[in-house]
Amino acid sequence: MKSLLLSSLLFASAALGTRVPGANGKITYDGYKAFRIHTGENEALVKELVESLPEAIKFNMDTAEHLDLVVPPKELKAFEALNLDSVVIYEDLGADIRAEGDFATYETTAARAVPSLTWFNSYHAYADHVTFFNDLAGAFPSNSEIFTVGQSLQGRDIFGIHLWGSGGKGSKPAVYFHGTVHAREWISAKVVEYVTYQLLVNYSTDAAVKAILDKYDFYILPFVNPDGFVYTQTTNRLWRKNRQTRSGSSCVGTDINRNWPYKWELTNGASTNPCDETYKGQAAGDTPENKALVAFTKTLVASKGIKLYIDWHSYGNYILTPYGYSCSATPSNNARQLELARGLNTRIQQSYGTRHTVGGACSTLYATTGDSTDYLTDVSKAEFAWTIELRPGSGTSNGFVLPAAQILPSGVEQWEGMKYLLATM
């Protein structure tokens, strides 16, 4: 079974490589239909059956309850013949990608005014995200500034915004956010932007927000994989990794969240095949992005230490505590971690009823090695280092391509949760 799964991953990746781009070089996914297939006790059988569709794309790795499968037009008949217990989650993925790609134009001002909340009504081009952050920092110069931790493989700045309160710049323990390490998880950047926006806009008028920002320095990096994100906008909406090539392989990309130099050498939670979506690299920390992130993380540790780290992802609605590398090991403050994570889940639910599954990353989802949260926990000694998987959850009809109408509710519910967590931890 293991070799069968491995070969299927190879097929899926090869298929991604040969998919024919449209006239502008962009893969359209027109006519691709996606299904949420019930697995449960038939998990192994379902996975085996879908091997007969070599060009179908598996969206999720947490397949205990369901497998989300994107089926190209030419394999739809074969899929239907399998007669699996499934519901449609995209009638036509290409149409949803086109709708999502209807970006609003972002209007900056010379005066660096506070951006309008309409920012959260649509997705945006990468260059506009950069301008948005420059405008935010420009509008709140006493509480924020833009910083850069290094460059991506293709030379883009990996930038962040630093927020601080009444103690002055760099005087408090760090709250540290990463967004969009997986390029196709667009909602993670938007939610990180919403939280940043609310912290800054409400600092002078909301006592609870002021108390939070007076207690911590925030270091918020919305795009730790900028090359991958740009590639999702120019070429392939479903791209996940960075854009690094490797000698001896025609496949592109390393999973930056399997490349951190801690437990990287273990064999159970990442791939050694450059064609796979979870390719770990040739050596621990050998991506330019990871090198920059590790160096910056060390400066936070050496300064005031890290209270909370969150790696923002999508999708599935999970709040994941350490560890990824082991399903039995737990951090020393595990009971407190779970208590806070459950409290966060309760608070998030109060906005729109969105429920998150809470638990250890490996035991709840699947094993991951060389991931950021394990590094932040054991090497950086962050008190809390979590992964949050945003919308959609298992009950709704979407995957990585989340309708723009869900940006604002995603931001609102996570902001409400963050206000609880940051005030309570």
Binding residues for Zn ion, rule: CB under 5 A, are 182, 313
Contacts of 196 (CB under 8 A, 6+ apart): 133, 136, 161, 163, 218, 220, 222
d(CA 323, CA 110) in angstroms, rounded, equals 46
Q: 36 or 182, CB closer to Zn ion?
A: 182
Q: What is the CA radius of gyration of the chain?
A: 21
Q: Which CB sits closer to Zn ion, 182 or 258?
A: 182
Phi, psi of 58 (to 5 degrees): -85, 125
The crossing angle, in degrees rounded to 10, of helices 207-215 and 407-424 is 70
Nearer to Zn ion, 129 or 313 (CB): 313
DSSP calls for 50-115: GGG-TT-EE--S-TTTEEEEEE-GGGHHHHHHH--SEEEEES-HHHHHHHHT-PPPP---TT-PPP
Return the sign of the alpha-carbon dihedral for residues 52, 54, 56, 58. positive
Closest CB 229 distance from Zn ion, rounded Å: 12
Beta 144-151 vs 157-163: how paired, if at all? antiparallel
Query: Kindly report the CA angle at 393 between 91 and 336, in degrees rounded to 5?
Result: 165
As a whole number of angstroms, the longest Cα–Cα distance in the chain is 65
Residue among 199 and 401 whose Cβ is closer to Zn ion: 401
91 catalytic, yes or no?
no
Give CA 121 to chain center in angstroms. Answer: 20
Report residue 355 as tokens: 């429920």
389: helix, strand or coil: strand
Nearer to Zn ion, 256 or 275 (CB): 256
Q: With respect to Zn ion, which residue has the nearer C-beta, 50 or 187?
A: 187
Please state the closest distance from residue 278 (CB atom) to Zn ion, in A: 10
Residue at 130: amino acid letter: V
**Closest approach of Cβ 172 to Zn ion, in Å?**
29
Residue of 193, 383, 389, 413 marked active site? 389
Write down how long the chain is.
425
CB of 182 to Zn ion, least distance (A): 3
Structure letter (DSSP) for residue 192 = H
Taking the complex as a whole, the smallest distance from the CB of residue 315 to Zn ion amounts, in Å, to 8
- Nearer Cβ to Zn ion (193/311): 311
The least CB distance from residue 398 to Zn ion, in Å, is: 15
- Which amino acid, one-letter code, is at 421? L
Q: Nearest distance from residue 314's CB to Zn ion, in Å?
A: 7
Catalytic (active-site) positions? 389
